[in-house]
A and B are shown apart, each in its own frame.
Chain A
Amino acid sequence: MKTLVSLGHFLYNRTATMILIAALALGAVSLLLLTLGIAPTTIAVAIAHGSIFSWQKFSHVLSLWIPLLLCSCGLLFTFRAGLWNIGVEGQIICGAIAATALLREGSFGLPPALILTLALALSFFGGGLWGSCAGLLKNRGGVNEIFGGLGLNFVAQGLILWLILGPWKRAGIASMSGTDMFVKELWMYTPPGWRVAPAALLLALATFALTAFLLGATRFGLTVKATGNNPLAARLYAIHPERTGLAAMAIGGGLAGLAGGLQAACVYHRLLPPISSGYGYLALLVVMLANYRIAPVPAICLFFACLAAGSIQLPIVLQLDSALSGVIQGACVVSALLVHGLQKRHKGEN
């Protein structure tokens, strides 16, 4: 009975916090819209219309949800290890490049499923390698992972531009619209009327389950947590904070790379310059809004994906810029920081 009551309290507190955060963020954005002479309800209707009112729209939301969830899972590892992995964008790009390197060569007469699996494994490896670079720069050179990651983002951007405009350019003319399409048999199966491959959806769900398991119920998860919470104490338990941090960066990078591989293999069927489309930065906001906890991540990803998909309509329907979705997302995170801070202050913790 006592456990039930405390569970009730716990859930009540969490729900109250969530409602407070949402009220603060949406209130602030509504106020901004009202001063501009726009009714917030029209925006809400337009966004809902563009995201959840039809299966086709919702399958588009799911296609945004997959890379976002994968990147957020990767960030859960690095955040647990106490690292700010800013290089997610670069890791997505490297994953996409690694997958494209295989897929653009055709199927070699092998079963397409095998080639696709190999390509996704390669993309995990490519992203992981890029993530490890930032980790190594930190361990060996003492370069803060924020700036190592940022520098590697710029390098990855240069690399993808060079590949698309140089060695992998379209037959005839180099174009910013990307490389040639992969052969049709290497497109991941997408049922008619869907905008998302069921296999990708399953992969994302499985990755989330595995992340929750690894971080929540294994020795490795505890090691990562110990490294993040207190590296000095971790050493006393024969944990190597540097090695664990590097492993977290490699896994985080790998999952981002997998997201990039999926973007190339089942969304665009080619490599194009904006392949990372800001998912890396958006995933940072997701995990921050989840207050670095695992459970709320899929729901927040879905909410953010709905905003992103729904806002695409805004310029057409209401002549408003689609950056509004970013404003709402950012406002949510800022108000979460405010609410959590005020709660701590109220409890006298700071």
Chain B
Amino acid sequence: MDISLPSFLAAIAVMAAPLVLAALGETLTEKAGVVNLSLDGTIVLSAMTGFVVASRSESLTLGFVAAALTGCAVAALLAVIGVWLNQSQVAAGFALTFLCRDLAYFLGSPYARQQGPQLATLPVPFFSDIPFFGKVLFSHSLIVYASFLAIPCCIYFLYHTRHGLLLRTAGENPEGCWARGINPQTVRIIATMTGGTLVGLAGAAFSLAVKPGWGQPQGCEGIGWIALALVIFGSWHPLRVVAGAYLFGMLQLLGIYFQDSFPTIPAQIFQVAPFPLMIFTLILIHLSSNRKNRITRLFSGNPPKWLGRAYRRS
């Protein structure tokens, strides 16, 4: 196995690509004040639709579009229940996550363990020849480039555009939205659906690129929960959230490396280990951020004021 530094970093970028997309999608949603807890199921369902549509139509583009639409549709249903009907967003998210996962297994079972299309790597001409950075950043498949691009786009949108400001207002101070003549509920619904679209792409990134194929389990189960935890412990800032996503990618990769180095320890332990490790790393950072010093202040931040709370015009 190639374990030089550039190939290690490149592998992290690939492993973390779907997680980056999903976590950014959830950041957008939560910044608008909506908690979309259906992430885990949405990723599984969109991984299935992406794979099935791509292999039946033999078009990867259609596969990604179908997955994105699936993510958007699930988010729309959550928005109807949690925003329009003012029901508990947490309850709606849970119910949808289990519904989506089982729907994926039920509808996808005829396609399990079948050969399907897979996104090819597409090195960027000229840039991929740069020593070190060429391998780390410029020799990937399109979805990995998309995950790179999504980071600055998300930050620019949230903090440097009028629409980004509106989205944040819907989460921080919906009354302020009203004062500007804009219905915060509409903003929230659109933000939830946009976030869901990114989550859908994350699903397709799994079944068409990172862990190609469909089966039960697909291998993307559990990632949605990690993405949700990242958003909360990354204190709702895209950059910190993404840093956490790469950390998890590294943990997963280390699991694969160590699995070969310690053949006496059962492989299952290495597959499960990154999940508790990640959650407890996040919890430790969170606990230590109560003490105020320069380093830990980097990790602390406040949730959007109206996160998870229904807004009703009084």
* Residues of chain A having any CB pair with chain B under 8 Å: 36, 84, 137, 141-144, 146-148, 150-151, 154-155, 157-158, 161-162, 165, 174, 176, 281, 284-285, 288, 320-321, 323-327, 329-331, 333-334, 337-338, 340-342, 344-345, 350
Contact = CB atoms under 8 A, between A and B. Distances in A.
A325 to B, nearest CB: 8
B90 A334 contact: no
Nearest to B275: A154
Contacts of A157: 272
B96 interface: yes
Interface of B, secondary structure class, is: helix
Interface of A, secondary structure class, is: helix
Contacts of A84: 90
A147 B229 contact: yes
B276 A165 contact: no
Given A285-B98, A341-B85, A141 B287 contact: yes
Nearest first, the 3 A-B pairs at minimum CB distance are A330-B99, A341-B85, A326-B102
Interface in B64-95: 77, 80-81, 84-88, 90-92, 94-95
Interface stretch (B15-23, B145-153, B278-286): B278-286
Interface residues of B, number: 48
A329 B216 CA distance: 19
A341 B87 contact: yes
A31 B90 CA distance: 27
B312 A350 contact: yes
A71 to B, nearest CB: 14
A151 B228 CA distance: 12
B81 to A, nearest CB: 5
B233 to A, nearest CB: 8
Contacts of B91: 288, 333, 337
B94 A158 contact: no
Contact of A150 (B77, B106, B225): B225
Contacts of B268: 161, 165, 176
Contacts of A330: 95-96, 98-100, 102-103
A143 B92 CA distance: 22
A154 B276 contact: yes
B266 interface: yes
Given A147-B232, A334-B96, A141 B109 contact: no
Given A137-B283, A147-B229, A334 B92 contact: yes
B105 interface: yes
Contacts of B102: 323-327, 329-330
Given A151-B280, A154-B275, A350 B86 contact: yes
Interface in B40-79: 77
B286 A142 contact: yes
B111 to A, nearest CB: 11
B281 to A, nearest CB: 10
Contact of A323 (B96, B105, B232): B105
Nearest to B80: A338
A117 B216 CA distance: 38
B95 A151 contact: no
A135 to B, nearest CB: 14
Interface in B259-280: 266, 268-269, 272-273, 275-276, 279-280
A148 B279 CA distance: 8
B188 interface: no
Contacts of B168: none
A326 B101 contact: yes
Contact of A321 (B90, B106, B233): B106
A157 B88 CA distance: 29
Contacts of B124: none
B310 interface: yes
Nearest to A143: B283
Contacts of B77: 334
Interface centre among B106, B216, B279 (most CB of A within 10 A): B106
Contacts of B81: 334, 337-338, 341
A345 to B, nearest CB: 6
B286 A344 contact: no
A144 B237 CA distance: 18
A329 B94 CA distance: 12
Interface string B15-43: 00000000000000000000001000000
Contacts of B225: 150
Nearest to B95: A333
B95 A334 contact: yes
